[in-house]
Amino acid sequence: MLLMACHLAWAQTFQLRLLNHWDNPNGTVERGFAGRSIWKWDEIPTGKGAMPKALRERYEEYARINQAYGINGTVLNNVNAKPMALSTAMLKKTAKIANVLRPYGIRVYLSVNFASPKALGDLTTADPLEPAVQKWWQKKAKEIYRLIPDFGGFLVKANSEGEPGPMDYGRTHVDGANMLAAALAPYKGIVMWRAFVYSAKDKTDAQKTPAQLAYEGDRANQAYEEFVHFDGQFADNVIIQIKNGPIDFQPREPVSPLFFALKKTKMMVEFQITQEYTGESVHTCFLAPMWREFFDTLAPASGQASVTDLYPNLIGIAGVANIGDSPNWTANDLAMANWYAFGRLANDAKASSKNIAQTFLHDYYHTSDPRFINPMTQLLLRSREAVVDYMMPLGLHHIFAGGHHYGPEPWYAPRGTREDWLPRFYHRADSIGVGFNRSSHNEPCLKGDAGSNNAGQYPEPLRTLYNNMETCPEHLLLWFHHVPWNYTLHNGLSLWDNLCYTYDRGVRQAQEFAETWRAMKPYVPADQYEQQLWRFERQAKDALWWRDACLLYFQQFSGQPLPPDSPAPHFTLEQVMKYHLNMDMYTAADPAKLPW
């Protein structure tokens, strides 16, 4: 199963090509769908004892795969970091992992908790301007590099979703990042400071205008607002790590406007390889086309310039890993294609999705037979768009079930939950229409008419393109606009009819994927065939679940019937609203344990 594509011939677009493991010290993996963490901390000795042979061999295989894919670094632990990651005992274990990965050109990095000086009991504060705190980090850096001379640096999630950070002390992102950068600078280490930030509380202020409140209340605006004013103030070894879209790894998002805005600050893009929002390890969703959209927006495919020619300060790429201790690494064999695609695009941002898919299928399944390669290439290339169609077409986003994000729940609204964690905050369905008004002008929407003017954060010509309902690309229409149900799209049909037909198309495609896979039986080992068949059949059923749940829910607001040639729902709205997937039973590496 090991892909040994020759990465030496690739262009190596980005200097930093890193996996980010969201793995916890207790072996769990946040948004992990392939079993438990591969980092078996309890089995790694802190003293001079050797790492267990089986564990070492597993890490060597992991390193060989990453080397083959052109990946040159790995962050071992969750961005929601535990302070214990910097304890001496854990650092000694980390050094043993680094020793295994080093011969393959893989450097080790750590996510760090900003409050570590205080949390580990050494100080009473983590204020970045306190000399004692600065000395603590300097001493810790010295300890790390004594154990791991080629240690890469720190990844930091600060003042986001309750994580500690410099603003706890009235300081700024610049204060926090530059303090850590100064501690690492003598060793040429870097600080990757995540731009995934949004207010810990809903913003309300009676003194502000509706337009101001709309702008500040839109999470899509906040990373831009937090960082654009600091452009040029970060130390040279600080890199701002920005998610590809402005919200949170949705099946489709526009490019984060922050990539266009930062001119004097080093940046790296963060993709999510693990399929938190695209069917986890059950659904097949080849992500290369999604990532191609990102690169082609920054550097249009029609031009000759590469993304790094146009954005020379975009120096790195990070991918949230989809790896676990499943025997085949990612539980779903075809999810390996996303690990591979990430590596390919990290080295050659102009690589085509088709070539990536073909190469993966050839190398992973050890065949050149066109009867397998051709239909499976087409399946992979269609899979991401199919997922968007049966989950959230036309720019809909964040209408998942709460917590596990596997199924649909556009009605999810537990009492006491902050508004911008609820699907209704994003779809804003009412009797007039649906969608989030992110334009600069008033449009009918659920809570007032003011647009959030997220479109205004983009440079021209994107600003004008996105700001106008008539010119906005229809695949992003409901991302940027609250659109009337009877609004006519370019094909001459109403928004409601287009929504119905798009969901129908997604269901058909998922069903066709299962049929395609059944025809692949002669070309795939029996156990791999059966494991994948179960997943394709489940994906087709889930597509129906998504279609019925979303159309029946939104039909309450549109008041319109399904088109005459649209299939009747398989479920009632009452049935889908009562169904709750028990994710405690969900173990992707063992499909027999799934609750359906």
CA–CA separation, 405 and 387 (whole Å): 14
- Is residue 8 very low, low, confident or very high in pLDDT (cuts 50, 70, 90)? very low
**Residues noted as catalytic:** 161, 248, 276
Q: Is the pLDDT of residue 594 over 50?
A: no
Q: Which pLDDT value is given to residue 333?
A: 98
Q: Which pLDDT value is given to residue 581?
A: 76
At 115-126, the pLDDT tens digits run 999 999 889 999
Average pLDDT of the chain to the nearest whole number: 93
At 208-243, the pLDDT tens digits run 888 888 999 999 999 999 999 999 999 999 999 999
Q: Is the pLDDT of residue 1 over 70?
A: no
Q: Is the pLDDT of residue 177 over 80?
A: yes
Give all domains of the chain, ordered by start, each with its CATH number: 13-194+231-366 (3.20.20.80), 395-435+482-590 (3.90.1330.10)
Instruction: Spell out the residues 6+ positions from residue 517 whose beta carbon is closer than 8 angstroms to its own.
Output: 379, 529, 532, 533, 536
Other Cβ atoms closer than 10 A to 556:
11
Q: Which pLDDT value is given to residue 306?
A: 87
- Is residue 304 very low, low, confident or very high in pLDDT (cuts 50, 70, 90)? confident
Residue whose C-alpha is closest to residue 275's, from 318, 330, 234: 330
Largest CA distance in the chain: 73
Q: What is the 3-state secondary structure (H, E, C) of 535-554?
A: HHHHHHHHHHHHHHHHHHHH
Other Cβ atoms closer than 10 A to 223:
25
Q: Which pLDDT value is given to residue 429?
A: 97
CA–CA separation, 112 and 114 (whole Å): 6
Instruction: Spell out the residues 6+ positions from residue 414 whose beta carbon is closer than 8 angstroms to its own.
Output: 402
For the record, the structure tokens of 94 come out as: 């980390």
**pLDDT (mean) for 556-576:** 96
- Is residue 200 very low, low, confident or very high in pLDDT (cuts 50, 70, 90)? low
Residue whose C-alpha is closest to residue 78's, from 277, 343, 321, 290: 321
End-to-end CA distance of the chain: 29
> How many CA atoms lie less than 13 Å away from 540 in the CB half-sphere?
15
